[in-house]
């Protein structure tokens, strides 16, 4: 048996646009980042994505709460 992961939205529900199962946490996060990157607004609710992991009894348990996957550079660089 292998571990399965799925992406969840800001309401901790299965993500509607990224509705799939992944074989690794890294694969799930990479897919989510690729989907989020084109969104222009860093504070858009779609930026909040979490991850569930399948349990042995067929249920899902949250292993990463929904949070922004990409962080904008907030400080000014010295000139």
Task: Count Cβ atoms below 10 Å from residue 35 Cβ, excluding itself.
Answer: 16
Tell which residue, 79, 15, 74, 1, has the closest CA to residue 45.
15
Domain ranges of the chain: 5-68
Q: Which of 74, 50, 75, 78 is nearest to 63 (CA)?
A: 50
In the predicted structure, residue 18 carries a pLDDT above the cut 90: yes
Global pTM? 0.82
What's residue 68's pLDDT? 86
Q: Supply the pLDDT for residue 66.
A: 94
């Amino acid at each position: 048996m292998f571990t399965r992961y799925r992406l969840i939205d800001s309401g901790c529900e299965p993500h509607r646009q990224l509705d799939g199962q992944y074989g690794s946490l890294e694969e799930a996060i990479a897919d989510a980042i690729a989907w989020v990157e084109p969104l222009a607004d860093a504070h858009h609710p779609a930026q909040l994505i979490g991850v569930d992991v399948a349990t042995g009894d067929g249920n899902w348990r949250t292993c990463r709460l929904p949070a922004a996957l990409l962080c904008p550079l907030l400080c000014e660089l010295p000139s």
